[in-house]
Amino acid sequence: MNEDAYKNIFLTMLRIRQTEEKIVSVYAEQNMRTPTHLSIGQEAVAAAVCQALEPQDQVFVSHRCHAAYLARGGCLDAFFAELCGRVTGSSRGRAGSAHLSSVEKHVFASPILGAMIPVAVGAALSFFMDRLPKIAVVFFGDAAVEEGVFSESLNFAVLKKLPVLFVCENNLYSTHSPLSVRQPPSPIYERIRVPELLSRQTDGNDAVRLYQTVSDLIPRVRQGDGPAFLECLTYRIREHVGPLFDYDRGYRSQEEVESWMERCPIQRLQEFITGQGIMTQDEIEEKRKEWSGQAEASYQKALKSPWPEGNTLLENVY
Amino acid sequence: MNEDAYKNIFLTMLRIRQTEEKIVSVYAEQNMRTPTHLSIGQEAVAAAVCQALEPQDQVFVSHRCHAAYLARGGCLDAFFAELCGRVTGSSRGRAGSAHLSSVEKHVFASPILGAMIPVAVGAALSFFMDRLPKIAVVFFGDAAVEEGVFSESLNFAVLKKLPVLFVCENNLYSTHSPLSVRQPPSPIYERIRVPELLSRQTDGNDAVRLYQTVSDLIPRVRQGDGPAFLECLTYRIREHVGPLFDYDRGYRSQEEVESWMERCPIQRLQEFITGQGIMTQDEIEEKRKEWSGQAEASYQKALKSPWPEGNTLLENVY
Amino acid sequence: MRTLSYKDAISEALVQAMDNDPDIFIFGLGVDDYKGIFGTTREAYRRFGPERVFDTPASEGALMGITLGAAVNGKRPVMVHARNDFMFLALDQLLNNAAKWKYVYAGKTSVPCLVRGIVGKGWGQGVTHSQNIQAVCAHVPGLHVAVPSSPYLAKGLILQALQTDGPVVILESRALYDTVGPVSEEMYTFDFGKAHVCRRGKDVTVVATSLMVPEALKAAGILEAHGIDLEIIDPVSLQPMDERTIIESVKKTGHLICVDNDWLRCGFSAEVAAVVADQAFGSLKKPVKRIGWAFSPCPVSKTLEDRFYPSCQNIIETVLHLLDRDVPYNKECALTTDTFLGPY
Amino acid sequence: MRTLSYKDAISEALVQAMDNDPDIFIFGLGVDDYKGIFGTTREAYRRFGPERVFDTPASEGALMGITLGAAVNGKRPVMVHARNDFMFLALDQLLNNAAKWKYVYAGKTSVPCLVRGIVGKGWGQGVTHSQNIQAVCAHVPGLHVAVPSSPYLAKGLILQALQTDGPVVILESRALYDTVGPVSEEMYTFDFGKAHVCRRGKDVTVVATSLMVPEALKAAGILEAHGIDLEIIDPVSLQPMDERTIIESVKKTGHLICVDNDWLRCGFSAEVAAVVADQAFGSLKKPVKRIGWAFSPCPVSKTLEDRFYPSCQNIIETVLHLLDRDVPYNKECALTTDTFLGPY
Ligand SMILES: Cc1ncc(C[n+]2csc(CCOP(=O)(O)OP(=O)(O)O)c2C)c(N)n1
Ligand SMILES: Cc1ncc(C[n+]2csc(CCOP(=O)(O)OP(=O)(O)O)c2C)c(N)n1
Ligand SMILES: [Mg+2]
Ligand SMILES: [Mg+2]
């Protein structure tokens, strides 16, 4: 068993959670003028997958992108500064939450559904052509598979046996629309399967299983067996965009949300971590405070950071 | 056994073949200034499928659309006139070959790959909403399944259980590109399958089997079981666009073309028809001449027909 | 007259049209959810239920083709995009198929359908949620394209669209959704191809689209105090375009400023300038001016976003420049008050 | 100087660039087949083989994203569309993703890639195989867009594109593929943002794009005999656009006619007119004129197709109208000789 890996995954999840909880607590202050899609409840996916990556691998993400940014070790100061529109942000205030990136850590997000899927395939094509041992990973939601570009990209990747891992975070909803009004009842990982594709489904809230699954898939992808698809069953706890709860809005029940809160991936891994003696409850609490404090510090630092100069508006258009 | 049906299918195929052979023989005259994709060798698909349709059903087609137009009983005079750009053409000279239509017979073609697939689904949606016992059929090539709009349309049709029959004429090539450079090796009907979809493959040059297959599928589609997908294995004998043979061009061998000529769907059905005593060889030869004569007559009539008036250019833009 | 917000005017138009015409249905991502496309499809869903107002998969390309296929069969679909930026995915179907259908099939069938797209603005919508697809739609023959600037026009245009024999694109401005104005309770239509003279004036013609209309009117109010009299024309529909009204106005004033909610390059503002430079050339006293977005993607940061968008103040400065005037107008009044608090 | 056809110039540019830069590869439907995109990719395939010149599935949307992903990683993909009409399927990736990449990620990565699209014309190409996507591409910030009108420019622009640090769209004219002109064997580049003055003259400025350049030159030849001296400017790149050269010319001639290979509405011709009506207003003696396609989809029938496209004769008539002249020019010479015998 890989104690270090689980510990890292756990710490990453904790860091994502504490960072996003900070956003929750300050979003109403209107310092973050950027529509923000929180990953609270879905942290295990990014944390476990990224744990299995190498530093040079590339990661492409949808609108719900904070978790992957943080899991890859994206800079926290640059994160809060970007959300606050400051020039110290990772994109100097141009991108906001939805187009978040860490060029250093090879993470790029776009909120157009499905948009990053072919980009990941193109990255993988370049690795293949240049015979580099890198892989591309793309995270997307259950709605992105409804975009035609998904199947086009999958076909191309399978055809060329490209090193790309497709990770579908199936949280059962697209905004407020349940899967049942968008797709037939069969599971996504079966429906999108083609005979030549490695396609799996896993509990997206079980970091241990998730990590085992990706640890099996990724070496195969990397060594040239072709792409793999992984459907992770998970759940978004907060509203689609913004920091609030929304179970009073009619599209899902409080019971449903609560049942998923009980399956909290952090809680679950925490039990495992403490049970295995990898960390103690106290150590964890300390870490929780540490990440929380770091988030607060980065946020405060962002607020003291300068705004972009108006006359830089046209920079980097060409 | 349905003698009438096979006879009709056979006559339809013969009519398509004789009509297209007329195009072959006159294309060099430059009276048909319109890029033309012949169905020679693929006639069985349109003929058998359309035989199983009701008059009010709707048919949508790709660039390779003559066979469906003729199989539905589209007017031959209007066909040649359209190819010759005359005002008596089915679209008064606006459409040419690639956008051929017979509004009366509910046939519409477009050469943008995949373009008609969602349109067929939209037609089927209207039948469903209006509780009409009609179905929509869409014919497309093996390349159209590579367009994202195909999988989007399939998902929507399956989700809503719409009465649409997807007919893929797999002739192994997209222009000069073999399937192997465009798609993984597994068969299309398996690769695009989702558990909720009726998906079949059939020999597209065997009109009898084809008719049996669609006779099984269409009632299910019509009665609300949801859409069906049918892959028909067939082969284009002439060049992709235009009237010539092209086995000297390197992308496919003469042997391959000839082996498919031996599997000519018309020849095959003819043996069946004569063997079963449905028609005699003489009756068939007479029909062959009749269709050939009709094609020649319609072509000559087209050439004597008026051109569209220049001042009607802007008609029907709005 | 009764007043209504822009979004409620849209909602009312949809409900009234659906009441009259059972073939109308509304579909698109989230049209039936509790937010109901910022309130515009909520009432229709309540009244007509899930058979006529229904959610869809995220498949913009196919959905446009589905719209077309249903329209050809006598339905009258209303396809909704919460951001018109998503319509880039639907352009093949919209431009290669829907816009050409009637023409290429020689007028034997038509395509009565409405595509609603919302143009985002502000609060960090960012590079992919704040664009305007109007110029692309107006460039290609076959579509009606309209951009309502007021609740009154929003209702009239939607009702017009829902009785038009062809594909219509209506691009609404998210920033106008809460603006209020007089709207008759009756059903009424506002013709495509008819501009709306929002203010008569004699000194400068300002052609302003969508959310730039209120900015232009504000500018006119401020300049009036200084004896400068703007004529404000809202083209309302970009295709067909009411060239006549604009030309007549410029013939009177001798000055044109076109203020668009878009990039300038190959945009609708260029078209207005070109039409005027041709057909009202003899009356023009000064260069034709255009005001629009900075030529960059729309950034998130507020300091940059504020620079990206033109405002009332740009209009005033341009007018003063054209007229060679320098007046001490109240710059405070000319600020755009942005009350939108996100997220979309 | 050596002469070469337009298509061979493109081919040579690709081969030379690929020889120099191992990161360049070409892909798209049929790039490796025996026709090789009307001869433009044949030699590259022969020279560099299937690793660098390869066929693709018919997935225009994804292919643009794949182009982008490879470009971000230091490759220099050349994506080819045998008709630019198919690019409507790729516009989401091109405009929402590629055009904005450098900006939204703050310039930390760039996207060196080239998209080639061919604009069809004649022999019944029909409504979906004869459009021009240039205006859409030039409207949105972030792309370089160029439309070569000669073999010389075709080579220079492709070589320029293949050393440009961002996404480039080059739209070639199928009707020009067999035209021949001087082309240096050396590698050379033609800068984006630089217009080409094809003919110096003093009476009327004619800004003509792509295949309208030869038509304009023909008109100039015919009118010369009548003492009328046209200045012909090929803008070459639509984005960035060389406003200066056009403005200076109009300042000299006082007259502008813009002849575009596209619809006029919200097109590049409107942009040229707008720029001139603003920045060269004081020099303009007459209304700004535009010549382009009829405002309909492009029909198949020859009688209609001939009406749809503008020709040398339209240019001559417009010049004479502007100058209030009536000369008995040779109408035969002004006909467009169409030698294209199909199919694509
Ligand atoms: C092309 C496109 N269509 C629609 C949208 C609007 N939109 C943004 S997020 C979202 C829901 C996506 O659901 P899913 O992919 O399941 O991701 P989740 O939000 O559940 O993480 C939608 C519809 C968009 N951004 N892009
Ligand atoms: C969107 C689009 N991309 C490319 C083309 C060019 N094209 C026309 S026909 C064709 C081949 C299509 O192959 P297939 O679908 O198998 O039909 P077939 O010609 O074999 O009948 C191609 C690539 C097109 N018309 N539309
Ligand atoms: Mg989801
Ligand atoms: Mg084929």
Q: Which two tokens stand for residue B9?
A: 């299918």
Taking 3-state DSSP, the helix, strand and coil percentages for chain C, each rounded to the nearest 5, stand at: 40, 15, 40
Contact criterion met (CB below 8 Å) for C97 and C145: no
* 3-class SS string, chain A: CCHHHHHHHHHHHHHHHHHHHHHHHHHHHCCCCCCCCCCCCCHHHHHHHHHCCCCCCEEEECCCCHHHHHHCCCCHHHHHHHHCCCCCCCCCCCCCCCCCEECCCCEEECCCCCCHHHHHHHHHHHHHHCCCCCCEEEEEECCHHHCHHHHHHHHHHHHHCCCEEEEEEECCEECCEEHHHCCCCCCHHHHCCCCCCEEEEEECCCHHHHHHHHHHHHHHHHCCCCCEEEEEECCCCCCCCCCCCCCCCCCCCHHHHHHHHHCCHHHHHHHHHHHCCCCCHHHHHHHHHHHHHHHHHHHHHHHCCCCCCHHHCCCCCC
Residue A146, phi then psi, degrees to nearest 5: -80, -15
Alpha carbon distance D322, D1 (integer Å):
37
Taking 3-state DSSP, the helix, strand and coil percentages for chain D, each rounded to the nearest 5, stand at: 40, 15, 45
The partner residues of A5 in beta bridges, in order of sequence, read none
Tell me if A174 CB under 6 Å of ligand 1: yes
Separation in Å, CA of D118 to nearest CA in chain A = 23
Please write the tens of the pLDDT for every residue from D177-186.
999 999 999 9
Tell me if D29 CB under 6 Å of ligand 2: yes
Partner-chain contact A310 C307, CB within 8 Å: yes
Please report the atom of ligand 1 found closest to the CA of residue A174: 13
Alpha carbon distance D207, A21 (integer Å):
59
The alpha carbon of A176 and the centre of ligand 1 are apart by a number of angstroms equal to 10
In whole angstroms, how far apart are CA A222 and each of A152, A164, A214, D68? 21, 8, 12, 21
Does residue C339 carry a pLDDT above 90?
Answer: no
pLDDT at C338: 78
Sheet with D196-199, side-by-side order of all strands? D196-199, D230-234, D204-208, D256-259, D289-291
Contacts of C238 in chain D (CB under 8 A): 266
Tell me if D58 CB under 6 Å of ligand 2: yes
Partner-chain contact C303 A85, CB within 8 Å: yes
Partner-chain contact D296 B241, CB within 8 Å: no
In the block, tokens 């659309």 appear at B65
Does residue B1 carry a pLDDT above 90?
Answer: no
Q: Chain A residue with minimal CA distance to D239?
A: A318
Alpha carbon distance C263, A47 (integer Å):
41
On the question of a cis peptide bond just before residue B308, with omega within 30 degrees of 0, the verdict is no
Please report the atom of ligand 1 found closest to the CA of residue C58: 3
Residue D257, phi then psi, degrees to nearest 5: -125, 130
Alpha carbon distance C327, C309 (integer Å):
23
Contacts of C294 in chain A (CB under 8 A): 313-314
Please write the tens of the pLDDT for every residue from C273-298.
999 999 999 999 999 999 999 999 99
Across chain C, mean pLDDT equals 97
pLDDT at C335: 80
Tell me if A22 CB under 6 Å of ligand 1: no
Q: Which-ligand-closest: CA of A175?
A: 1
Partner-chain contact C263 D92, CB within 8 Å: no
pLDDT at C330: 84
Q: Who among B94, B99, B121 is closest to C66 (CB)?
A: B121
Partner-chain contact C75 B118, CB within 8 Å: no
Alpha carbon distance B167, B150 (integer Å):
12
D322 CB-near residues (< 8 Å, 6+ apart): D204, D255, D257, D286, D287, D289
Rounded mean pLDDT of B118-143? 98
Partner-chain contact A318 D66, CB within 8 Å: no
Q: Which two tokens stand for residue D133?
A: 């996507």
Partner-chain contact B307 D127, CB within 8 Å: no
pLDDT at D135: 98
Contact criterion met (CB below 8 Å) for A104 and A59: no
pLDDT at A1: 67
The alpha carbon of D60 and the centre of ligand 4 are apart by a number of angstroms equal to 17
Please write the tens of the pLDDT for every residue from C10-69.
999 999 999 999 999 999 999 999 999 999 999 999 999 999 999 999 999 999 999 999
Model confidence band, residue D139 (pLDDT cutoffs 50, 70, 90): very high
pLDDT at A286: 97
On the question of a cis peptide bond just before residue B133, with omega within 30 degrees of 0, the verdict is no
Please write the tens of the pLDDT for every residue from B214-235.
999 999 999 999 999 999 999 9
pTM, 2 dp = 0.98
Please write the tens of the pLDDT for every residue from B132-170.
999 999 999 999 999 999 999 999 999 999 999 999 999
Please write the tens of the pLDDT for every residue from C178-203.
999 999 999 999 999 999 999 999 99
Active site residues of D: 60, 129
Model confidence band, residue C332 (pLDDT cutoffs 50, 70, 90): confident
Alpha carbon distance A109, A35 (integer Å):
14
- The residue of C301, C313, C341 whose CB has the most chain A CBs within 10 angstroms, and thus the best one to mutate to test that interface, is C301
Across chain B, mean pLDDT equals 98
Q: Is C306 near chain A, with CB under 8 Å?
A: yes
Tell me if A178 CB under 6 Å of ligand 1: no
Q: Which two tokens stand for residue B10?
A: 């056979």
Contact criterion met (CB below 8 Å) for C9 and C151: yes
pLDDT at B31: 98
- The residue of B146, B191, B192 whose CB has the most chain A CBs within 10 angstroms, and thus the best one to mutate to test that interface, is B191
A159 CB-near residues (< 8 Å, 6+ apart): B181, B182, B183, B184, D57
Please write the tens of the pLDDT for every residue from D261-293.
999 999 999 999 999 999 999 999 999 999 999
The partner residues of C78 in beta bridges, in order of sequence, read C26, C114
Contact criterion met (CB below 8 Å) for C206 and C312: no
Contacts of D92 in chain C (CB under 8 A): 88-89
Alpha carbon distance B265, B206 (integer Å):
6
Tell me if C343 CB under 6 Å of ligand 1: no
- The residue of A90, A112, A303 whose CB has the most chain C CBs within 10 angstroms, and thus the best one to mutate to test that interface, is A112
Q: Whose CA is nearest to atom 13 of ligand 2?
A: B174
Q: Who among D89, D263, D288 is closest to C141 (CB)?
A: D263
Please write the tens of the pLDDT for every residue from B255-291.
999 999 999 999 999 999 999 999 999 999 999 999 9
Does residue D338 carry a pLDDT above 90?
Answer: no
Q: Who among A99, A110, A156 is closest to D62 (CB)?
A: A156
Q: Chain B residue with minimal CA distance to A146?
A: B152
Across chain D, mean pLDDT equals 97
Contact criterion met (CB below 8 Å) for D84 and A136: no
* Rounded average pLDDT per 10-residue block, chain A, 318 residues: 93 98 98 98 98 98 98 98 98 98 98 98 98 98 98 98 98 98 98 98 98 98 98 98 95 97 98 97 97 98 98 98
Separation in Å, CA of C125 to nearest CA in chain D = 12
Q: Which-ligand-closest: CA of D344?
A: 2
Rounded mean pLDDT of D301-316? 97
Contact criterion met (CB below 8 Å) for D77 and D70: yes
Model confidence band, residue D331 (pLDDT cutoffs 50, 70, 90): confident
b/e burial code for range C70-98 (CB count within 10 A of at least 16 → b): bbbbebbbbbbbbbbbbbbbbbbbbbbbb
